[in-house]
Amino acid sequence: MHPLLEKAQQLKQQLNFNWSLIFGVSFFLVVVIGLIQITTGVSDWLVENKDAQIKHLTVQGQPKYTDETAIIKAIKKADLSSFFELDVKHVQQLVQDLPWVATASVRKQWPDTIQVYVVEHEVVAHWNSDLLLNQSGQAFQASSDKLDDDLPQLYGPEGSEEEAWVAFKQFDEMLKVNGLTLTSLALSERFSWQLWLDNGIRLNLGRKDKAKRVQRFIDVYPRMEQRADAQVDTIDLRYDTGLAVSFKPVQEEQLQNKSKA
């Protein structure tokens, strides 16, 4: 190849290389400058809106025992002066500290709203007279004039709440199938079980074979001799076989009702 042509070709290659390099560097600089401008813009926007306050509270869910004003009052204990700095976990804990609230979830909605979803305890029984049990067998302290009058009464040592509730459900189902209603259950410190029925009968089950002893009562009760002058008070099932029955006198008024019937 002629030396002049070879030199011209080399110069052309160098120019092509330089233009590619220049284009690449220019594109990189444009991207960097764009990112800086975006970051600066976001930073300026955050500075301008750092004092955005919470102005609206939305309570969701279907609380039955907890008044909405009580929820709002609890939330207002938190610092609501800044949307961005609001501690959502703190607000959640404030709501969950309310007596009837089992769980709460909190989220922020731009520009000035927080939404709170509340789930209450589903009360199923009284526990040791001064507490309540939820559907998971957990004890909690709360009060309300909306409580059902026929809630069962459960008693037992601390830590036995779940066991007592599980047993109550089992016995209640067994008795209900046979037309009997369980209203109360007690578990002693030595884990001895007693049941009370709505007809006033108390069942003493002892510490073992609880379900078998309840079934024995169910099998025998329809065939038990009914006395006109007395009614069944206690049935002691703490035997491997058989049972013992204690009677209590029938009140005069009850005798009169029986004679009229």
Pairing relationship of beta strands 56-61 and 113-120 according to DSSP bridges = parallel
- Per residue in 43-84, pLDDT (tens digit) is 444 445 455 788 888 999 989 999 999 999 999 999 888 888
Indicate the pLDDT class of residue 223, thresholds 50, 70 and 90.
Answer: confident
Query: In the prediction, which pLDDT does 51 show?
Result: 57
Torsion of CA 90, 91, 96, 101, to 10 degrees: -170
The predicted-structure confidence for 247-260, as pLDDT tens digits, reads as follows: 888 765 454 454 44
Q: What are phi and psi of 250, to 5 degrees?
A: -85, 135
Q: Look at residues 139, 136, 214 and name the one whose alpha carbon lies nearest to residue 182.
A: 214
